[in-house]
Structure 1
Amino acid sequence: MLQYSRPSSFDFQHLNIRPERQVRPKRRKPLDSSSLCDSKVQKGDVDDKKRRRLQAKELAEARKKKRKKHYTLEQELASLWEKMRIRDIKKEDRSKHVSEALKKMKGKIPEIASSHVSSRVLQTCVKHCTQDERNALFAELRPHFISLVSNTYAVHLVTKMLDNASKEQLAEFISSLHGHVASLLRQMVGSLVIEHAYSLGSATQKQALLMELYSPELQLFKDLVTMKETRLVDVISKLQLQKSSVLRHMASVLQPILEKGILDHSIVHTALMEYLSVADESSAADVIQHLSGPGLVRVIHTKDGSRLGILCVKHGNAKERKKIIKGTKGHIDKIVHDRYGSMVLVCILSIVDDTKLISKIIIKELKGNLKELILDQNGRRPFLQLLHPNCPRYFSPDDLISLSLSIPSIRNKGESDTNPKDDEAIEEDTNGEGKTSNTSVHLNEGGKKDSFTRRQELLVHSGLAEKLIDACHEMAGELLRSKFGKEIIYEVAIGGADGILHPTLDDKLATLHEAIVSLAVQPKLDDAEEEHILEQFHSSRTIRKLVLDCPTFASALWENALKGKCATWVKGHSSKVINAFLETSDSKIKELAKEELQPFVDSGLLRLPVAGDSVKND
């Protein structure tokens, strides 16, 4: 019989079992006398603990009352505020609470307006009080406006009052700012009020605020501010100011603003544009250097801010342009949807030679949201600029003026010095001796690459054109019917200006033409939810232009959709498409349709173009 022999020492490895870890009890820190007292209070004397807590609370209240002059009043106002700001409260009850609060604050409003609590109560009162109460409140605060606009909490009360102010009250407030505009613009808080007043003011009031930034004389003498001249060069000429003095003063005002990064305000953008119109080359280059970078994204949402961005792109050197492009990373979608910001992207695509960097940052983000952008009024602009640069059909005169701006003091030698048609352009700078400064240390505006080569690298080589064609193929019906999308599909379908998409993408363009023709082939139905593609207002005109400008498409449309069916389409908007076959300059397309369309011409339904008539593209 086998006998089990127990090992002399218990071998865990023999049984393949790990021994349990022995957990040592944590050593507790010795309790000091105060903690022992607290533990006794928690265990034994609960009432004593409550009494001590009440005593501490009363002591804190007493300290607050001693420190804050109107502490009790603020507590009462806070209680009223909770009642008056309820959404479903009756109008009469809210008016009652507002009137009660204003009565309690009367005579003390300037003192308590800087309080975190009281300023919120006052904002609600300004919003819901009667006009007489608002006038009384305005009159009490008027002598203290300058001190209030510099306070973190009172600034919100002032902006709320400006929103509800009458024309006379707004004029009084702007008048009270005289002599303080420059100093307040250098403050993060005060600049908010200046910008708010600037946005609400009339053209004359805006000019009054701006002119204080131009010269110390305009700060001291209020009568000089009331001028009709809007341009800085005109102000200097009218008042016979010394240009060097104006430049020194504006530099002293704008330099701290740039260094602190207070770049969001339109009044600052306008002041910088005026400064660049008279600044020398070195000063203008310093401004460009300060603006070129991620901070430029905060500038380009206004008209003058957009023009500043364009000038930075045009006159910045390679390093500064690279900073600008990198600064747009992650913000392209927001920029391209903005009316003014999109023009800065258009300028970058038109000028910057570093197409690899643009493709990596800007083109990549544009491709990610392509289908939405080609239907958007502003979002389509970069694509239209690549397909058909500076086309007056797609860009307003104001947009084209912005793209043609330059800084006079660092203008290129080859650029003409005057542009009589450009009323908005920055005026030419002249030195004290009357000589124009044309030299520049910065890169020339157009870059070194040929325009067509740059467009081809950004549009075709980057893969953007192929994405555009695919999107147009997929959304053909929607784009043709769209007020803004129709221009994208038209430019893509004809291959872009200068045939930039030919011959590389001819096969894909043929499939796009087939997609449009397949929509035109569909029968005309009276009870259809959407108008037929040949009868809808926008699509009929777009197809007409394609017939006139793209013989390949015109031939496919005639053979597959219109041949033998013209009687259906010779009335209404579709007649424009049929008539285009008679207006086209391509003799082969004209011969295709001439025989079938002649009877409609004889009956007066269609009209042959008269010699000398210019074909108008709608």
Structure 2
Amino acid sequence: ETNRFANIRLEDMQGDMFGLCKDQHGCRFLQRKLEEGDPAHRDMIFAEIYPHFGELMTDAFGNYLSQKLLEYSSDEQRDLLIESISGELVSISLNMHGTRAVQKMIDFLSTQRQVQSLIVALNLNVVTLIKDLNGNHVIQKCLNHLPPDDNQFIYNAVSTNCIEVATHRHGCCVLQRCIDHASESQRIQLVTEITYNSLTLVQDPFGNYVVQYVLDLNDSRFIEAIVRQFLGNVCALSMQKFSSNVVEKCIRVSDPAGRQALVEELSGRQRLERLLRDSFANYVVQTALDYSDPAQRAHLVDNIKPILPMIRNTPYGKRIQSKIQREGMDSLRSGGTGFHPTLVSGGYFLTPSHISAPTPPHHIQPIIDSRSSFLGNNPGNPAPSARSVTSKFPVHQLTSPTTLQPNGFSTPWSTSTLTSLVPHAYASIGMGLGRENQAAT
């Protein structure tokens, strides 16, 4: 069967090439003719294949010839091929054979005209492609191969649909690749949305990985912004399977001030008793013991010790007791930090030690929640309406994810008030998290 094309000339197959494309051996014959590099043969194959190019891209055998034709075509021929399938490109990308052909097409884009044809074809269906088993590879190929500016249509779509993408099996992976390949402004655009929605994302089996990925960037601006979103809900998050991992990571990577604020919410004796009995939260407490400064660790130990007799026979209690004994916590009581939280209305608000002015009620303006305060005056980046953030962590009840609201505070402060109270932390975040290029193209 293989040898039936051994002595056949391409000229002898004129008029039959489309049929050959769908035959395993005929397809290989045509590929070999393209590889020979004869422009006349290339033009003959192009002339017969061009009207059927979209159909061939989804064929089990024809897709290999379509890839080869894209590789060996001239720029002008490639322009025509890509424009001919523009209206079908999304459906081709969703096909198990077509996705490979489209990825190869992206590899061989050689003119800006071809790039623009691709962008126009995919622009309105980015999220659909991201969530598809085959289509997500096309978006990832764009991220890998195209420069950031040409990929802006992807960043606009993902930012607008952050939760839908981040909480999807394939979407969470694509979102991480978006972060990898982003320009600085695009990374800020994405992280702003991820942080704004972090309370929802950390409670999701896929979304929590996206938040952890941002924390792993080890950028203090992003870490502090995420930590502030969690304040007021740290205990509730610690008692959930997915979000507890994120709380642990926050404790590990935060600066001393952020870590102190997180651990402070865990330190109450009544809360500790429930946290230590919980199958997820006990690990958060152990991490807090490992990473707290000496003074805060000693305070934790003081509150844990009265609880130990009640949990001594549980696996969690044994681990906690062993950790306390092993680390010799009593010897660390003399440690101290230069940063102390001020207790206000049952919660903690971080203030630099030199601030002596009376502290306002227990409300903190979310750093990324109130976008208009430092996201610039770009007309394409309108600030959203104010959100009501009222819930607080209920010691007696673990609620559904939708109960948790950003920061758990009821009334946001004005930007000027926040700036005056936390000048250094606010300035370091505000300077770097400007929102750019948000409007969808």
In which range does the TM-score fall when normalised by the shorter chain?
0.3 to 0.5
TM-score with structure 1 setting the length: 0.35
TM-score with structure 2 setting the length: 0.47
